[in-house]
A = this chain, B = another copy of it.
Amino acid sequence: MMTYKAIETILNHRSIRKFKNQKLTVEQVETIIEAAQYASTSSYVMAYTIIGITDEKLKEELAAVSGQPYVKDNGHLFVFCGDLHRSEQLGTSEQQNAMQESLETSEQFIVATVDAALAAQNAATAAEDLGLGICFLGSLRNDINRVNELLQLPDKVIPLFGLAVGYPDHQPEQKPRLPLEVVYHQNFYQPFEKQLPLIQEFDENLKSYYAKRTSNKRVDTWTAQITRKFSNPIRLDVTPFLKMKNMNKK
């Protein structure tokens, strides 16, 4: 019988937030980056740069931005950046002038963000295939200007998120996902009213999951979490930051 090892790895995913004190080898890091590079890329632009953080002082500074200890304590820390600077710099100064209108659009901001995320998910899957654990770190956007400064990012390069990788030092339960029918629709968008009964069922299941799990027990539903989250605007400095970097500007 054929087994689908990539799918097995993917379906076994859980975010790891406590790592053993063991660094990745250079070979492991390079395998992860190579996997990232083989993701699809829009029009062959490869509009991202990945920064590997090995300097301990720098990791501490980034952990301070995120407020999460596993940004410092892990086997390796990657920061995924959207990068239109490389493309811009390929041009002569005359070409560069002509390229600004395009580079500053929301369209090209989508290109850079999607390119970086596709690469990052390959990196995550490759790391898990190597027996390592991973955690995505959107928390680096808690102070995007500070991360930009720490990593010395030029114009048109923006830090999108981090990826902490390492040997897992806990085995968290897998977090349930929304029912397939809620996120997967046929031919056109299914009105929210049709999704609602399934979401209510999911809320009940999640309540049991939170009540039963071995650590971090809590009383909560998905609906309550999400409405709380969006009632509290965060990272309002991201918009002016992007414009300052001359991306997503017009």
Instruction: Please list the residues of chain A having a beta carbon within 8 angstroms of any beta carbon in chain B.
Output: 4-7, 9-11, 13, 15, 30-31, 33-40, 42-46, 48-55, 58, 81, 85-91, 95, 98-99, 101-103, 105-108, 110-111, 113-114, 117-118, 120-122, 124-126, 128-130, 134-136, 138, 141, 150-154, 157, 160-161, 175, 177-178, 180, 182-189, 191-192, 195, 199, 222-223, 225-227, 229-236, 238-239, 242, 248, 250
Q: How far is the CA of A234 from the CA of B45 in the complex (A)?
A: 15
Given contacts A6-B126, A13-B39, A105-B239, 5 further A-B contacts (CB under 8 A): A33-B183, A37-B177, A99-B231, A102-B234, A111-B138
| A-B residue pairs in contact (CB < 8 Å), sample of 19 | A6-B125, A7-B126, A11-B34, A36-B183, A50-B185, A52-B187, A55-B187, A95-B227, A98-B231, A99-B227, A99-B230, A105-B236, A108-B230, A113-B113, A114-B161, A117-B118, A151-B189, A153-B189, A154-B189
